[in-house]
Chains A and B, each alone.
Chain A
Amino acid sequence: MTGALFPRQAGLHPPAFTPGYKTSVLRSPQRALISFGSGPSEETGPAFGHVKLGEHDNDLLLNHARPGQSAIGERIIVHGRLLDEGGRPIPGALIEIWQANAGGRYRHKKDGYLAPLDPDFGGCGRAITAEDGSYVFRTIKPGAYPWPNGPNEWRPAHIHFSIFGHSFGQRLISQMYFEGDPLIARCPIAQTIPDKEALNRLVAALDMAETKPMDAIAYKFDIVLRGRRQTHFENRLEGM
């Protein structure tokens, strides 16, 4: 049994209002969030451990490709573990990803970037974490792409991650970057994160040990969600 969720670590997530990222200006609440200890509505959450995955759900090289084809681009493996703050693995949890193709183009009706679509690449995948919290995807390295925030702004190569833990209060959406990308330091979205060390946690490390020779380069990306207190000595309020 576990108890209340740990409070979110202060100053870790980006603030709502980050004028360098212009869209946040009108989409950021101005009033302070109301803080409260978690209860059943936050400590429970949807379970996806039973979801039946298709053979290629975590393989973006193949899951939108025509028979006998595969996506164009630098073949990569992205793997890691889903953990809580105490270092405990979170098994049976759903991780969903989406990304641009190797040219930086998304398969989305609102993306009009001139780079072409790849007929063999859709750009989404999903996985359920194993007993030890591990997950793995095979995909292509997404390209950098321009976006209309400033006159000449380029997103660093990134993969979007959507992560469920075991509680609705652990819900997280983030982005994974790649080691060594000079665009990270220039990106207004990456730079919404005030703490440099926290931003570094979004940068996947080149992982030569897991790289498949003559096949695919590996990157390691561990994800850490809020933990939960132990329930020893849980008391009701005095007098209740």
Chain B
Amino acid sequence: MVQKLDRLGLTPSQTAGPYVHIGLAPEACGIEKPPFPTLGTEIAGPAAKGTRITVRGRVVDGGDLPLRDCLIETWQADAAGIYPGQQGADPAVTGFGRFPADFTSGEFSFETVRPGAVDLPGDQAIPPHISFWIFARGINHGLHTRMYFPEDNLSGDPLLARIEHRDRIATLVAEARGETEYWFEIRLQGAGETVFFDI
């Protein structure tokens, strides 16, 4: 016999379902006067330092249909690579975004500032990236991925170094559409399936 590890069992995940907007994006589903304002609508306020960018994209299922009922949440560092809450962070950056896909086209779109590279202990750094968390009807556990930028050298990224099938890294890199606009398509299944993480 040994002592018991007094760890609690985790609460398991369940799908967000088709009516997730009621709780997390009420205006999107026709609730005109929600009891409180929607969170995550502004990642970087007007005073935020750095280059303002627009990210658009969509989440596509294994039958090549865009998800029109999904939500994405994003989390990122400020232009200097400092996360909100850390010392020296840009006070105009919340870092957090929450955006519903359009009910007709399935497109999501948001404005932010281009994040900086995030320093790691030692000489390493994570190239600029935005973390994505995707949830919807039919997704049993929120899917975690990252968007990197096509202009950056990604060779030093310790997480990407873990990906054995090197051609899959391209699924994490947004496509440039003009100077400050990016397109990020997330494919849930099949050819070109986006890399998802368990971190």
Partners in one complex: yes
**B-contacting residues of A (Cβ < 8 Å)?**
5, 7-9, 12-16, 18, 21, 23-31, 33-42, 44-48, 51, 53-54, 56-57, 63-64, 83-87, 94, 96-98, 100, 106-111, 122-126, 160, 162-163, 168-169, 171-175, 189-190, 192-193, 195, 197-199, 201-202, 223-227, 236-237, 240
Contact of B12 among A53, A111, A199 (CB under 8 A): A199
**Tally of contact residues, B, Cβ under 8 A:** 79
Chain B residues in 8 Å Cβ range of A110 = 18-19, 29, 69, 103
Measured CB to CB, the closest approach of chain B to A47, in angstroms, equals 6
8 residue pairs, one from A and one from B, having the closest CB atoms: A98-B23, A23-B138, A46-B96, A27-B138, A44-B83, A14-B140, A109-B30, A63-B35
Nearest residue in A to B94 (C-beta to C-beta)? A46
Is the CB–CB distance between A174 and B139 below 8 Å? no
Chain B residues in 8 Å Cβ range of A14 = 12-14, 140-141
Contact of B11 among A30, A45, A108, A224 (CB under 8 A): A224
Contact of B13 among A48, A54, A173 (CB under 8 A): A173
Bound form: Cα–Cα A210–B170 in Å: 54
Bound form: Cα–Cα A56–B34 in Å: 12
Is the CB–CB distance between B14 and A175 below 8 Å? yes
Is the CB–CB distance between B63 and A108 below 8 Å? no
Nearest residue in B to A227 (C-beta to C-beta)? B7
Nearest residue in B to A44 (C-beta to C-beta)? B83
Bound form: Cα–Cα A175–B15 in Å: 8
* Mask: chain B, 171-192; 1 = CB below 8 Å from A; 0 = not: 0000000000000000011100
Contact of A16 among B6, B21, B141, B163 (CB under 8 A): B141
Q: Which of B110-137 contact A (CB under 8 A)?
A: 118, 120-123, 126, 129, 131, 133, 135-137
